Structure 1
Amino acid sequence: MSGNLSRYATVSLTLVVAVGLFQSLLHFQLGNGFYTLPSIGAWIFLIRLISLTASLYLMLYFRQRHYQLVFLTGILSTVATFGGFIFLWIRFLNPEVASYSSGIFLLIIATNIVYAGSLILSPSSRHLWFKVGGFLTLGLGLMQMIVTVGYMDIQLISSPSALTTIGPWITLVTSVVPIPFILHFLQETLPRSVNEKGTNSFSFADALMGLEIILFLLILVSGVKLASESYNQLHVTSKALLLALPFKSGSYINSRGDTLLYRLMEPLGYDPNKTYPLVVCLPYSCRQDNVGQVEACPPAQWLSREQNRTKYPTFVFVPRCPPGTGWGGVSQTGSVDTLTIEAILALDKYYTIDPQRRYVTGVSRGGYGSWHFISTRPDLFAAAIPVCGAGNPVYAPLVTGVAVWAFHGAKDRNVPVEGSRAMITAIRAAGGHPRYTEFSGGGHYIWADVANTPGVLEWLFAQKKHQKKLNQ
């Protein structure tokens, strides 16, 4: 094996640490919002390849040093980890396999713990930094085990928000695990007798470094893009400011001190002697500020167009969900649904809102929330337009009195179309008459198709509570 192997391993592992710390920084700033960035898929793919090359360098070293147990368990851990990444990709393409996730992740974690044990207990532990690396790997595995089991049985952890808090810390620990291995390679020079063996390993290691250089250049480009997207999440852009201009900034604080920030657009020519409908528009992403949620809510933007404001005078309420939360209906995710309902009702104290004409709509996370709101408070809403969302069919009998027009893309890979189909089928079986439009060639981003569907707003504003719904 070439004496370059130690240097190659050092460079590769250092890149893993640098990339991990960069990701950890963004994860702490954005919370789970980090995983909603547009370029996150390419980023995760690249870091998995970089981690794979670093692991291969370690396995080459263990094999040449005849640390057979560490080599075998390391290979097992590497294969399982990379296999887990492949599974995540398959799950993205075929969401129906998601039920196997927890079991597969536990299997991967178990292989990592076995690998950690071999570093601690095998002859390789004579090297201090390998033993330290083993304990770090073991600690990481136990953290991952707790979180995975916590998702399987939420009672083991106090709340879903606690799981969200743990996530960035796991990212940080993962990023520092290679440091002891780097320190080992920095202080070691391979004996000449070892260097002269295994010429096949030379060429493989050199080729691996060539791949590493390519990955380094790609990760630089991806990192710059990811940092730019993160900046836009954390800072108010000129576009977001422009879209939020028609909306006043507001906040609601309940008796417990819980605060909900929101934007509210009043009807054009608002007359307090008249009553107006209220459209609750639920954004698809969480924001740090009280401006950007309008940018994350296509229905609110649609209703704020001059022609729509003129034709349909209405209040438009756009609440903000803090990072790591949502509007309800999404398992293992914190929710501000109760606080939002309280804020909606509190508006009646200050504005003349028609209680028979409250509506709710949203896309993606907001689509989930739309189904959830009418399922838990069907008395409050006259109609809903859930887009690319999903609900719980158990609540279908409660929703039959609410007018529903749902939209979904048949090829949606983010939120499977079965979520809307199941709700529509269940409501119809319970005696309701919801409308449902499915775009056969549409994916997750179908809002333009929804906005171009004739009669959507006319249908929405024709709905009232305590009358026969105009669904037919």
Structure 2
Amino acid sequence: MKAFLLILLYFFLVSCNKTEGEFNPETIDQNIEPETMDQNIEPNKIIVFDSKFSGLVDLPMDEGGEHKAHPLTSESNSGLGFYAYTPGGYYDNEKNYPLILFLHGSGQSGTREFPQLLNKVLEHGPPKLIENNNWKPTYPSLVVSPQSEGDWTPESVHHFIEYLIDTYRVNTKRIYITGLSMGGRGCWFYEGEMGYDSYAAALVPICGRGQPSYVKNLVNTPIWAFHGADDTVVKPFTNNGSFQMVNEINANGPIFEAKLTIYPEVGHDSWPRTYDSSGMGTESLEYDPFDMTIYDWMFQFRKE
């Protein structure tokens, strides 16, 4: 018995004298995976090409929804007045829907003091198509058209998207942004400044001026730009127009090659033929073909 106690005392002293953190093969958890290198890529900006349109094919067909005005009031926490389209069937289920955010041009700006000016956002783009009963995308989606008081700022756009996520059943993997002229610039600047914090899974800027210094963030997002070759308001080939922006992106190793479609003999108003797809077949053969609607193109991408 005495010998047995001496042996226990020996092992106790040995274990107490081990240096903290000393390598001991018996303590290794064999199920621990090797630590991976930090690539500095946030999960919310990993975008994938989704040819199966995951999460969209199961949504009910949109046979006509509700397009409602939401003027900015003192009680609003949206930061912007807006029109929101909820597709048919939206209120009959609990599924999350993709979101298309439309940024208007300077001619459709308004103010809090005159909420009746909110109707100006219906003059162009998706909200006009919806009002004219010409909105027939392949898959249903929420379409929201906010109204700015001036230039679109990345911060105001970001805050507004967060408001929409809190208010509607938004599929946050499928948020798409498009805009014309000032709104096209808003697309470039939002993505360029927000980088990995951006909610956008794809962008379609139309006749908008960008900023080359933003390219380091723009290379992470699918982009399809449109422009009229004869645009004298926002020139396509100079002063950071669509041609320069797309070339700069593609020269810096984008995850998805940026696309550019140019309409010959078209001025600043290149957006009607883009949003209603009537410009298909009229584009310049020197650039990317207009071979599918911008909505189907955007729906091909989602965040992982």
TM-score w.r.t. length of structure 1:
0.41
Name the SS for the 1:326 alignment partner.
coil
* Alignment-mate amino acid for residue 270 of structure 2: I
1:294 is displaced (CA, Å) by: 2.4
| Alignment partner of 1:343 is 2:160 | yes
Structure 2 distance, partners of 1:417, 1:304, is 30
Q: 1:425 pairs with 247, 250, 253, which one?
A: 247
Taking a change above 3 Å as real, the CA distance of residues 351 and 272 of structure 1, as seen in their structure-2 partners, is farther
Partner of 1:318: 145
Greater relative CO (CA pairs within 8 A, separation 6+): 2
Name the SS for the 2:145 alignment partner.
strand
1:343 is displaced (CA, Å) by: 1.8
Name the SS for the 2:122 alignment partner.
coil
Partner of 2:203: 384
Partner of 2:102: 281
Taking a change above 3 Å as real, the CA distance of residues 311 and 355 of structure 1, as seen in their structure-2 partners, is same
Structure 1 unaligned segments of length 5 or more: list them.
Answer: 1-244, 329-336, 467-472
Taking a change above 3 Å as real, the CA distance of residues 448 and 258 of structure 1, as seen in their structure-2 partners, is closer
Any conservation in 2 of the 1:268–1:309 contact (CA below 8 Å)? no
Structure 2 distance, partners of 1:373, 1:291, is 22
Taking a change above 3 Å as real, the CA distance of residues 258 and 361 of structure 1, as seen in their structure-2 partners, is closer
* Alignment-mate amino acid for residue 281 of structure 1: F
Q: 1:263 pairs with 60, 77, 83, which one?
A: 83
Partner of 1:455: 292
| Alignment partner of 1:415 is 2:238 | no
Partner of 1:238: none
Partner of 2:48: none
Taking a change above 3 Å as real, the CA distance of residues 247 and 312 of structure 1, as seen in their structure-2 partners, is farther
Percent identity over paired residues: 28
Structure 1 distance, partners of 2:225, 2:235, is 14
Q: 1:249 pairs with 66, 70, 94, which one?
A: 70
When the two chains are superposed, the root-mean-square deviation of aligned CA atoms in Å is 2.5
Structure 2 distance, partners of 1:305, 1:357, is 25
| Alignment partner of 1:436 is 2:273 | no
Q: 2:214 pairs with 391, 395, 400, which one?
A: 395
Structure 1 distance, partners of 2:93, 2:73, is 21
Any conservation in 1 of the 2:124–2:272 contact (CA below 8 Å)? no
Partner of 1:295: 122
Any conservation in 2 of the 1:388–1:417 contact (CA below 8 Å)? yes
What CA deviation, in whole Å up to 9, does each residue of 1:107-141 have, x standing for no partner?
xxxxxxxxxxxxxxxxxxxxxxxxxxxxxxxxxxx
1:406 is displaced (CA, Å) by: 0.4
Structure 1 distance, partners of 2:234, 2:179, is 13
Any conservation in 2 of the 1:248–1:265 contact (CA below 8 Å)? no
Structure 2 distance, partners of 1:321, 1:360, is 15
Structural mapping, 1:345-364, within 5 Å:
345-364=162-181
Choose between structure 1 and 2: higher helix proportion: 1
Taking a change above 3 Å as real, the CA distance of residues 275 and 375 of structure 1, as seen in their structure-2 partners, is same
